[in-house]
Structure 1
Amino acid sequence: MRDNSSATAVRTVARGGLGLAALGVLIYSFTFIGTVYALEGLNPYLIGIGRAAAVVPFAALALAAVRAPLPRRDQWPGLLVASAGVIFGFPLLTTLALDRGASAAHSAVVIGLLPAATAVCAVLRAGERPSRMFWLAAAAGAVCVTGYVLVRGGGRFSTADGLLVGALLAAAAGYTEGGRLARAMPGWQVISWTLLLSAPVTVPVTLWLLATTGPQWTARSTAGFAYVALFSAFLGFFAWYEGLARAGIARASQVQLAQPLLTLAWSAMLLGEHVDAGTALAAVGVLVCVALTQRTRVRGPVAPLVPVAKETKERVPAP
């Protein structure tokens, strides 16, 4: 009876984790839209770096409000990797790609490779062992995206595509470290500490860019910057990191294969971008792959997490 109840608890936590991951993906699906809006009046470096600096006060207030303890010494290296990936690498490289002519729709499909890259990082850093079928489904999604890029680029990658590939590799490392850290502390604390760790760089650089790049704060550029700062750089990670920790990094990351399809819809609706049949087909292809990955098993030494009794104030693997 105890074994059955334990297994049920694990499945419940995992399903909840997938739901949180899906919420994070929904939030992130508007990121390229917000970035395109922001680029109408702001320097790309200001957007890429400034979005993190803008929410540092919110992160500090959140941690102070609950008197969150400092991370352990062994957790700081992981926070440093997460900071390099999700505070600097991904935002800056994707913004530069969009500034160099990549459309939001095209960028979203290329970033469809991110779940496969995250799964590889989960194996290397988090001790997870996806099944063979998982890898086949993830590889199929990667093939869809690669084929799309090559067809669109006449058989070669453009500079913008290179920036996007660099961005997805940075994000994969940042997601994996953040999800791994979220096994020991709430996901919102992981991103909050990451933002504070990067503040000595992001805040002064942002102030310098504000003074030297002549930003034009139109209604659209302000709204776009506000979205990528508050939601993409901060609140989205509340759900995303928690989802990675609860459902498993490799499996939960595959939910992000649905992001290109969502971004295509928002690109057509909000930016007026033309989504042709080839782009839509590539997006549907990766969406099918995410469904297949969710029907496979991911083994590993670390089980999905649940909070334990309040008096311990720690998180441990589910039984």
Structure 2
Amino acid sequence: MNRITTTPASSPQTSSSIETEACLLGVLSVAAFALTLPCAKALSGHLSAIQIGLFRSVLAALVAAPVLLFIGSARPNFSQFKRLLLMSLGVVYGFPVLTAVGMQHVPVGHGGVVLAALPLATAIFGTLITRDSPPAFFWLASVGGFVAVALFAGLRSEQGGGFYLGDLALLGAVVLAGFGYAQGGALSKEMEGWEVMCWALVLNLPILAMLSLWQFDASQFETFGPIQWGALAFLAFVNSLLGFFSWNRALALGGIQRISQLQLLQPFFTYGYSILLMGEHFDPLALVACVTVIALVVVSKRALIKRTH
């Protein structure tokens, strides 16, 4: 049975309330995604990068399957099926595995420098997929936001900068995630945001289950403590599942290019977590950089709004 498409933007909400909902959902998702690198780092001494990527995705898929059955979600049509598979290359396999590889070679702060390019990657792929080209001023503001985040993360890096082998993995994660996010955002104009991620996981469940069983070693879990179990659960059920419910919805409501710029706030959420959870000292530079990035996000969003009026 083909999926009867729905467009979230066709609801009777006003444009202002839609914009507010999109931004709130986007910020909520970014706040969750900001724990990806710390959680992967917590697991890096206990599981291989391949295991971290596979286990988080297969656990998420095992939850997504009964959700689809319980709610009675209609099967995607052939076009949606193909795009879900393309999306899964980035968000089911590429990003989970490659970020775990990166965290085995680089510090979390340094990894934030590389992942600061993710909003640009998402906006670029969103433009290619939707063929909706933002104005030049949007790109200038986006690049400015990336530079501000990169400078902040680079100055905070205890390693003093430099290029790491893990950077190659993180750069690959940026490209694949940007592609996957853009595909998910485009699909969420036809399907509900939660359905997009659930179907992407369930369609890959046979492969994920087979590969996970091949990589499974029960003895490795003997070294797990509460931190490791919590990190794996968070990566599986929040970052690989629930976070995408709100993220795909936000992309569909607010536009891929516009909402993707909220990801520039991700390193600052990660920094905030390091203060709250790991006792790091507050750096006034963080506040200055964060205000700068927020201003540039507002500028980029307004550039898109002016073009549509």
Interval containing the TM-score (normalised by the shorter chain)? 0.7 to 0.9
Residue by residue, what CA displacement relative to the aligned partner does 1:137-187 show, whole Å, maximum 9, x if unpaired?
001123335556777687853212222111111110000000000000100
Judging changes above 3 Å, is the alpha-carbon distance between structure 1 residues 210 and 281 closer, same or farther for their aligned structure 2 residues?
farther
Partner of 1:97: 102
Mapping of residues 259-278 of structure 1, within 5 Å: 259-272=266-279
Partner of 2:3: none
Higher mean alpha-carbon deviation, 230-239 vs 17-26, is at 17-26
Structure 2 unpaired stretches of 5+? 1-10
Aligned AA for 2:100?
T
CA distance in 2, matches of 1:41, 1:243: 34
Partner of 1:173: 179
Higher mean alpha-carbon deviation, 206-215 vs 275-284, is at 275-284
Question: Aligned to 2:220, what secondary structure does the other structure show?
Answer: coil
Partner of 1:139: 143
Higher mean alpha-carbon deviation, 263-272 vs 234-243, is at 263-272
Partner of 1:160: 166
Partner of 1:119: 123
Judging changes above 3 Å, is the alpha-carbon distance between structure 1 residues 35 and 281 closer, same or farther for their aligned structure 2 residues?
farther
Mapping of residues 24-43 of structure 1, within 5 Å: 24-43=29-48
Higher mean alpha-carbon deviation, 20-29 vs 241-250, is at 20-29
Residue by residue, what CA displacement relative to the aligned partner does 1:11-68 show, whole Å, maximum 9, x if unpaired?
3223211211111111111222222222243222211111010121211111111211
Q: RMSD over aligned Cα, in angstroms?
A: 2.7
Judging changes above 3 Å, is the alpha-carbon distance between structure 1 residues 99 and 272 closer, same or farther for their aligned structure 2 residues?
farther
Kindly indicate whether the alpha-carbon contact (under 8 Å) linking 1:39 and 1:221 is maintained by their aligned counterparts in 2.
no
Tell me the TM-score normalized by structure 1.
0.83
Q: 2:69 aligns with which of 57, 64, 70?
A: 64
CA distance in 1, matches of 2:173, 2:294: 21
- Asked whether 1:255 is paired with 2:262, we answer yes
Partner of 1:305: none
Kindly indicate whether the alpha-carbon contact (under 8 Å) linking 2:113 and 2:154 is maintained by their aligned counterparts in 1.
no
Q: What is the aligned length? A: 295
Higher mean alpha-carbon deviation, 76-85 vs 123-132, is at 123-132
- Asked whether 1:293 is paired with 2:297, we answer no
Tell me the TM-score normalized by structure 2.
0.85
Q: CA deviation at 1:237?
A: 0.4
Structure 1 unpaired stretches of 5+? 1-5, 302-319
Aligned AA for 2:71?
V
Question: Aligned to 1:58, what secondary structure does the other structure show?
Answer: helix
CA distance in 2, matches of 1:122, 1:220: 36
Question: Aligned to 2:41, what secondary structure does the other structure show?
Answer: helix
Judging changes above 3 Å, is the alpha-carbon distance between structure 1 residues 137 and 182 closer, same or farther for their aligned structure 2 residues?
same
Kindly indicate whether the alpha-carbon contact (under 8 Å) linking 1:130 and 1:298 is maintained by their aligned counterparts in 2.
no
Kindly indicate whether the alpha-carbon contact (under 8 Å) linking 2:152 and 2:285 is maintained by their aligned counterparts in 1.
yes
